[in-house]
Amino acid sequence: MDSKTLIIPLLEEISNANSSMSTDGSLEPHVRRNLQDLVKQLGFALESPFETLNRLVVLPFQHAVVRVAINLALFEYMVEAGLDGKTEEEIKAKTGVDELLLPRLLRTLTAIGLLSQLDEQRWAATRLTHVCTIPTVKSGYRFMWVIPSPSNPYRLIGCDRFDFIGPVFQKLPESLAKRDYRCPTATQGPLQDAYNTKLNGWEFFLEPQFAVSLQDCNLFMKGRRQGSLSWLDFYPFAENILARAATDAESVLVVDVGGGLGHGLVEIKEKFPQVQGRLILQDLPKTIEQRGNSEGVFEPMAHDFFTHQPVQGPRAFLIRQVLHDWPDQECQQILQHLAAAMQPGHSKVLINEFVLADVGASDFITAIDLVMMGMSGGMERTVSQWNKLLASAGLRIEKIWTLDEETESVIEAVLSETPDPSRDVETEGTTVEDS
């Protein structure tokens, strides 16, 4: 099929999207996602195959330049400059970058939309430049991407040229080949090969030399959801959890398992300030120590979710962006501890995770899937994989609420005496046949 045959139908579909736009120019999330996908397909159709591959080959170098700009505080400087921008000479004086290197960096940032070039010697900020000044975005780049830096704290383990995730992906091809292309496990994979460790990814990540990277990771995960709808915006928490919950102050309403700094419980308290019952945050001691003031919101509890669950019979165990960190075997162990602590007919497990599309999975989710695989042998899962995993732990999916593929779904599960991984799983708006 030639490119012309592809381009014309795509242009027609994009044009038809105008009918879905409201009078103020806004789009429903699912319409916007569909339009983004069409534009991406159009881009592929307009490129030759070699142009596409050439673009992909240079992506790591472009990301490295973004990291250089973050180190130089260049984005902040350009935002402060306003619409008039700054000359190369002014940028050189501010950053200390020499006159031969500076335009090469600026040209690269302009090519990917992070700066604009006003004339031969003047550059200015774009909408994306402003985003690059947000602390959570900068944390994501420090955590994920690479930059030569003699002062990098990870020099302690003999790797002075990369941030935390960079070496893992450099080792991925070699690591998969030497294990005959089997999925990595929690303790045998590219992370262990990159850093010469026998620890699993999360044990290793908590080593003292990664304190800065841990802070960046926590900040990145918090900020990644800024501007997105919360799971509480589309999951009927009041109807499904609060309506049948005990109303006395001593009963446990929600246990947030592996809940990090408690952002999930804070969201619940803010959205439902009248909520009755205890909210309990569980995580490892080092994480619990980093939380802010939780008085009047939740109770902190140091707990390892691979061990016996001490809280019995809550209305709900909430587990958000945890299970994708681990392979199925470890997830089964986590879920079995929760199942053993549940009260039949009362307790639920709420899993807030991505649900991979069986066809046409997005580039963002497939990339996150690879990050989890490289980091800890974890994975993003399809409906059928979620159903099979939960059934193996004595749980059954009641329903899955999904806003769109790039927003974490809510999987509601209950105890099941007769697990049946072949059953159909109901999802909001559609019925997804499990096979």
Residue 122 near residue 113 (C-beta atoms within 8 A): no
Q: What is the mean pLDDT of residues 221-247?
A: 84
Q: CB neighbours (10 Å) of residue 333? A: 14
Query: Poorest-confidence range of 229-233, 255-259, 293-297, 310-314?
Result: 293-297
Residue 405 near residue 431 (C-beta atoms within 8 A): no
Per-residue pLDDT, 146: 38
**Token pair 């959205």: residue:** 271
Here the tokens at position 38 are 């069409």
Selected residue with higher pLDDT from 10 and 213: 10
Query: Poorest-confidence range of 124-138, 193-207, 333-347, 410-424?
Result: 410-424
Q: What is the mean pLDDT of residues 47-55?
A: 82
Q: Half-sphere exposure of 193 toward its Cβ, with a 13 Å CA cutoff? A: 21
Q: What is the mean pLDDT of residues 19-47?
A: 78
Q: Percent of the chain scored above 70 by pLDDT?
A: 84
Write the single-letter amino acid at 259. G
Selected residue with higher pLDDT from 157 and 212: 212
Q: CB neighbours (10 Å) of residue 271? A: 13
Selected residue with higher pLDDT from 339 and 28: 339
Per-residue pLDDT, 428: 52
Per-residue pLDDT, 106: 95
Q: Tens digits of per-residue pLDDT, 362-390?
A: 777 888 898 899 989 999 999 999 999 99
Q: CB neighbours (10 Å) of residue 6? A: 15
Query: What does pLDDT average to over the chain?
Result: 84
Per-residue pLDDT, 144: 62
Per-residue pLDDT, 420: 46
Write the single-letter amino acid at 192. Q
Q: What is the mean pLDDT of residues 60-69?
A: 82
Active site residues: 324
Here the tokens at position 70 are 């973050």
Q: d(Cα 200, Cα 375) in Å, to the nearest integer?
A: 8
Q: What is the mean pLDDT of residues 331-346?
A: 97
At residue 152, does pLDDT exceed 50?
no
